[in-house]
């Protein structure tokens, strides 16, 4: 989370599904718009989502990685299939409170800042790490002032 890297993969916006596959191997599944079969040069099948475990790689076009996203977890931790191991899995545990995350991030020397965004749901908080990883913390009941936000998703969005 400090560098924005996934092991050998240093994602950038100008990145294709073929380049991803060359590094990580075949994805567990590839989802295309309207179920159109994937063809690298066919704009008709985009957007495309390539899944490795519960980790999703979203492509806008044949040469454009939009983001990496996870909102599904296996035994409360993200799963990158056989290809991706998370060094920060303890920090990325689903249901982890935002206060616990901030405490442990500080103990690890991981710089984090809270994002203020227009349109963000009143029960949601977003933290961003120094590596550009965004973490979404939410509550189940917005009416319960005592409920603490917990980790529900994380993503990395490619820069321009």
Cα 12-159-68 angle, rounded to 5 deg = 60
Please state, in angstroms and rounded to a whole number, the distance separating the CA atoms of residues 99 and 148.
8
The rounded percent of the chain whose pLDDT value lies above 90 is 44
How confident is residue 35, by pLDDT bands cut at 50, 70 and 90? confident
Whether the predicted pLDDT of 160 surpasses 70: no
Please state, in angstroms and rounded to a whole number, the distance separating the CA atoms of residues 72 and 32.
19
Number of Cβ within a 10 Å radius of residue 83 = 19
Instruction: Write out pLDDT tens, residues 57-91.
Output: 999 998 899 999 999 988 888 888 777 777 777 88
């Amino acid at each position: 989370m400090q560098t924005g890297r996934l092991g050998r993969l240093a994602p950038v916006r100008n990145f294709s599904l073929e380049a991803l596959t060359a590094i990580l191997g075949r994805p567990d599944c590839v989802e295309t718009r309207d179920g159109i079969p994937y063809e690298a040069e066919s704009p008709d099948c985009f957007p495309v989502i390539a899944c490795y475990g519960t980790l999703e790689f979203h492509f806008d076009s044949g040469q454009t990685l939009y983001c990496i996203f996870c909102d599904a977890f296996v035994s409360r931790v993200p799963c990158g299939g056989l290809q991706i191991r998370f060094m920060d899995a303890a920090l990325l545990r689903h249901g982890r409170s935002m206060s616990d995350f901030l405490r442990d991030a500080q103990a690890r020397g991981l710089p984090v800042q809270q994002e203020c965004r227009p349109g963000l749901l009143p029960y949601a908080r977003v933290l961003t790490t120094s590596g550009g990883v965004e973490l979404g913390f939410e509550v189940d009941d917005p009416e319960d002032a005592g409920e603490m936000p917990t980790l529900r998703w994380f993503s990395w969005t490619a820069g321009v």
